[in-house]
Amino acid sequence: MKVLVTGATGQLGFDVCAELARRGAEHWGVSSREMDLRDDASVRRAVLDYGPDAVIHCAAWTRVDAAEDDPAECWAVNADGTARLAAACREAGAKMLYISTDYVFPGDGERFYEPDDPTRPAGVYGKSKLAGEEAVRSALERYFIVRISWVFGKNGGNFVKTMLRLSESRDLLRVVDDQIGSPTYTRDLAPLLCDMIETEKYGVYHATNEGVCSWAELAREIFALTGRTVTVQGVTTEEYGARAPRPKNSRMSKDCLTRAGFARLPDWHDALERYLKEIEAI
Ligand SMILES: NC(=O)c1ccc[n+]([C@@H]2O[C@H](COP(=O)([O-])OP(=O)(O)OC[C@H]3O[C@@H](n4cnc5c(N)ncnc54)[C@H](OP(=O)(O)O)[C@@H]3O)[C@@H](O)[C@H]2O)c1
C-alpha cells in the first residue's frame, strides 16, 4: 500500500511516517512546503502525481488561541484545505483518514462522548475541524475520521514539553484543573492509524490513550515522574483565562475501537512515562 501523510513535520505526521517506515510501507510525508493545503493546484498535484492508495491527513492549523484572532487563515487550512484534499482523494480513488479533535464537542456534562453524539464546537479551531469532517463525509465513502485529544509526540511542541520548560524557572505553576480529557501519545496512535487504513472498516472513531485526567493532574504526573519539585496549583478555566473557549468535558468513548476489532491504546500514565524516556527527560 502506498500512503501519503500530511503534516509530516508535526508531532503526529512525523510518527506516522516513522511507523510506516518501520513496516516497510511505501510512503511520502509532506509538509506545507511540498503541499500547501491553502492552494488547490498544490494539493491536486501532490495527490494525483503520487497516486496514493490512502492518505493520512495529520496536517492542520493547531494554534487554538491564535485561531480566534485569524479565523480566515485557520479555516483556509482546516476546513477548505481538508475539502481540497478530500476532493483530490476522490479523484485519485484513495481512502482518506482525517484526524479530528475532541474540540468538536460542546464539552458539558461528564459523560463519555460516542462518535455519533451531536457536535457543537465552541471556538474557531473546533468549528474549522468539524467543517473538515463534514467535507470528508460529503466527498468520500471510503473514509475514517479519528478524533484525538491532548497530543504529545517527540517532533514538536506540546503541553508536556511546556511544563518541563516552565519548571526550569518556576517553583509554582497555575494549571487548569476543570478540563477533563485523555492524553494521546503519537507513538501509540501511529500504529493504530496504519492498521486502520489497511482495512475497510470505515467510519468515525475516537482514539486516545486510556484513562482520563485534568491538565493539572497531568502536570503533577510529569513532575512526579521526572522528580521535579514544582507545586501545581489547580485553577479553573475562567481563572486561567485562555483566549479560545475549550471543552471542560473531553471524555471520549473508545468502545468504537473495540467493536471494530482494533486494539485500544495503553493507559496514559504508561504512555507518559515512555514519552518522557523518549525525549530523555527521565
Ligand atoms: N496537538 C493537539 O493537542 C491536538 C489535539 C486534538 C487533535 N489534534 C489534531 O491532530 C493532528 C496532528 O496535530 P499535531 O499536534 O501533530 O500538529 P502540529 O505538530 O502542530 O503540526 C502541524 C502540521 O500541519 C502542517 N501544516 C500547517 N499548515 C499547513 C498548510 N497550509 N499546508 C500543509 N500543511 C500544513 C505543518 O506543516 P509545516 O511545518 O509546513 O507548517 C505541520 O506538519 C491535527 O489534525 C490536529 O488538528 C491535535
| CATH number, domain containing residue 11 | 3.40.50.720
Probe target for ligand 1 pocket from 28, 31, 64, 146, with the most ligand atoms within 8 Å of CB: 31
Q: What is the pTM of this model?
A: 0.98
Cα 47 to ligand 1 centroid, rounded to whole Å: 18
Give how many domains the chain has, as a whole number: 1
Q: What is the mean pLDDT of residues 189-196?
A: 98
Instruction: Tell me, using a 6 A CB cutoff, whether residue 123 lines ligand 1.
Output: no
Can you give the residue range of the structural domain that contains 13? 2-158+184-211+251-265
Across the range 236-265, mean pLDDT stands at: 97
Cell of 244: 479560545
Q: Is 36 in the pocket of ligand 1 (CB under 6 A)?
A: yes
pLDDT at position 214: 98
> Which is the closest atom of ligand 1 to the Cα of 125?
47
pLDDT in the model for residue 44: 98
- Mean pLDDT, rounded, for 247-254: 98
CA of 90 to the centre of ligand 1 (A): 22
Distance 126 CA to ligand 1 centre (A): 14
User: What separation in Å is there between the alpha carbon of 40 and the centre of ligand 1?
Assistant: 19
What pLDDT is attached to residue 148? Answer: 98
Structural element, H or E, at residue 273: helix 268-278
Please indicate, yes or no, if residue 192 is contained in any of the structural domains.
yes
Residues whose CB falls within 8 Å of the CB of residue 242, separated by 6 or more in sequence, listed in order? 65
110 domain residue, yes or no: yes
Query: Residue 200: inside a domain, yes or no?
Result: yes
Active-site residue identified among 50, 98, 125, 185: 125
Q: Would 125 be classed as within a structural domain?
A: yes
Nearest to 148 by CA among 190, 195, 94: 190
pLDDT score at 35: 98
- The finding on whether 190 has its CB within 6 A of some atom of ligand 1 is no
Q: Decide whether any atom of ligand 1 lies within 6 Å of the 60 Cβ.
A: yes
Q: How far is CA 49 from the centre of its chain?
A: 27
Region 240-263: what's the mean pLDDT? Answer: 97
The predicted pLDDT at position 107 comes to 97
Residues 277 and 50: their CA atoms lie apart, in Å, by 36
Q: Distance from the CA of 29 to the center of ligand 1, in angstroms?
A: 13
What is the atom index within ligand 1 of the atom nearest the CA of 63? 20
| Alpha carbon 10 to chain centroid, angstroms | 10
202 belongs to the catalytic site: no
The four Cα atoms 220, 223, 227, 233 give a dihedral, to 10 degrees, of: -60
Question: Which pLDDT belongs to residue 256?
Answer: 97
Pairing type for strands 151-152 and 54-57 reads: unpaired
CB 159 less than 6 A from any atom of ligand 1: no
Phi, psi of 88 (to 5 degrees): -70, -35
Q: What does the pLDDT look like over 130-183, one tens digit per residue?
A: 999 999 999 999 999 999 999 999 999 999 999 999 999 999 999 999 999 999
Residue 206: pLDDT band with limits 50, 70, 90 = very high
| Count of beta carbons in the 10 Å neighbourhood of residue 4 | 27
> Which positions ≥6 away from 260 have C-beta within 8 Å?
201, 203, 205
* Element housing 232 (H / E): strand 231-235
Residues contacting 203, CB < 8 A, separation 6+: 115, 144, 145, 256, 260
Rounded to whole angstroms, how far apart are CA atoms 277 and 282? Answer: 5
- Average pLDDT across the chain, whole number: 98
Q: What is the pLDDT of residues 9-58, one digit of tens each?
A: 999 999 999 999 999 999 999 999 999 999 999 999 999 999 999 999 99
Q: Which atom of ligand 1 is nearest to the CA of 38?
A: 31
> Are the C-beta atoms of 7 and 58 separated by less than 8 Å?
yes
| Beta carbon of 11 within 6 Å of any ligand 1 atom | yes
Residue 16 domain-assigned (yes or no): yes
